[in-house]
């Protein structure tokens, strides 16, 4: 998704000199073209993420739109105090961009596993949280966060391209990636392909699954969740993220508040632990049951209980 992101950012920066791009000394092989084209709109602050957030806040305070870019945990957890106090408290127009959401850097062990970021960013006042499901959504999300005034978290991940044509994209409104009336699978970020593959498996078993791409975790599309609860027999959420505070928590809060638990619900994700396993993304997804087969099985069991 990062290639789709930087392509859109270059297009928009050419039209808007108020767009700035900051990095913490990474992203090379991706960002060189932006740096060459827009040297006055680019800054590498070095390996100093607290400074990255602080400088981004300072530039944004002059009326600029600032993107700060790093690997998942580095652009969020390492500089969380600065994001909270400098950016969110002052409601500045800073877009925190994380590449490698979930287990994309799985072979580098838990220090590079971005599996708590969505929950933490969701908890910050004034922060909008966006996690697109494929390259097309990533392009649309980039344009959307540029237009959106205020702090945003943009979580990028795998490079899949899943739509035949661009869907309607609006912050806070789900994309219905597949229609169905038996069960609803709600995915966030790169889990969209897994959800669609699970729906195909269910289809072989004569179970029609609705797939919702919940590309915006905050603000959440509560209407779409309640509509799915009314029209299908159960809801399954899937996220490459801890089950604490992320998509599962957000959806279950809506269901509990509005339906008093009168809906069959199942959540699939990482339990509240650090992974003791090291390996590539596919390996770690299997460890935590983030596969089409496991999702399809959970959906089937949920509605047949």
| Listed residue (235, 233, 189) closest to 213, CA to CA | 189
| Listed residue (135, 100, 250, 101) closest to 186, CA to CA | 250
CATH 3.40.50.920 assigned to 175-304: yes
Per-residue model confidence (pLDDT) at position 189: 95
SS3 sequence of 76-87: CCCCHHHHHHHH
Per-residue model confidence (pLDDT) at position 160: 84
Domain boundaries, the chain: 2-155, 175-304
Per-residue model confidence (pLDDT) at position 29: 80
- Angstrom CA distances, 83 to 113, 144, 264, stand at 20, 20, 37
Q: Among 3.40.109.10, 3.90.45.10, 3.40.50.970, 3.40.50.1700, what is the CATH number of 2-155?
A: 3.40.50.970
| Listed residue (145, 151, 14) closest to 83, CA to CA | 151
252 Cβ contact list (under 8 Å, min separation 6) = 265, 267
CA 24 to chain centre: 20
Whether this prediction's pTM lies above 0.85 is answered by yes
Same fold, 2-155 and 175-304: yes
User: DSSP characters for 117-143?
Assistant: HHHHHHTSTT-EEE--SSHHHHHHHHH
CA distance 293 to 285: 12
Per-residue model confidence (pLDDT) at position 261: 64
Mean pLDDT in consecutive groups of 10 residues from the start of the chain, 305 residues:
93 97 86 94 95 98 97 94 98 96 90 95 98 96 98 90 93 97 97 97 97 98 97 97 97 90 90 91 95 97 87
CA distance 218 to 215: 9
Which two three-digit tokens encode residue 237? 């959420």
Per-residue model confidence (pLDDT) at position 30: 85
């Amino acid at each position: 998704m990062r290639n789709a992101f930087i392509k859109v950012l270059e297009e928009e920066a050419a039209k808007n000199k108020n767009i700035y791009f900051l990095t913490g000394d990474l992203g090379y092989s991706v960002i060189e073209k932006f740096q060459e084209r827009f040297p006055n709109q680019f800054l590498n602050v070095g390996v100093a993420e607290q400074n990255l957030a602080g400088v981004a806040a300072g530039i944004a305070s002059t009326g600029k739109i600032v993107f700060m870019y790093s690997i998942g945990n580095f652009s969020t957890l390492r500089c969380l105090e600065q994001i909270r106090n400098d950016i969110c408290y002052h409601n500045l127009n800073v877009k925190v961009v994380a590449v490698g959401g979930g287990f994309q850097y799985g072979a580098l062990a838990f220090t590079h596993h971005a599996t708590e970021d969505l929950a933490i960013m969701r908890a910050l006042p004034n922060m909008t949280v966006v996690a697109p499901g494929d390259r097309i959504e990533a392009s649309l999300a980039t344009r959307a966060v540029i237009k959106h005034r205020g702090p945003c978290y943009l979580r990028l991940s795998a490079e899949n391209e899943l739509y035949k044509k661009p869907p309607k994209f609006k912050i806070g409104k789900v994309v219905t990636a597949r229609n169905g009336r038996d069960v609803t699978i709600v995915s966030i970020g790169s889990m969209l392909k897994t959800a669609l593959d699970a729906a195909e498996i269910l289809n072989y078993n004569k179970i029609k699954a609705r797939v919702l791409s919940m590309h915006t975790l905050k603000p959440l599309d509560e209407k779409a969740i309640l509509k799915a609860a009314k029209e299908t027999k159960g809801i399954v959420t899937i996220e490459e993220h801890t089950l604490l505070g992320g998509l599962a928590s957000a959806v279950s809060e809506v269901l509990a508040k509005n339906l008093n638990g009168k809906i069959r619900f199942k959540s699939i994700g990482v339990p509240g632990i650090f992974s003791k396993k090291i390996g590539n993304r596919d390996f770690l997804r299997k460890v935590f049951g983030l596969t089409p087969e496991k999702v399809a099985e959970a959906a089937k069991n949920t509605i047949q209980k």
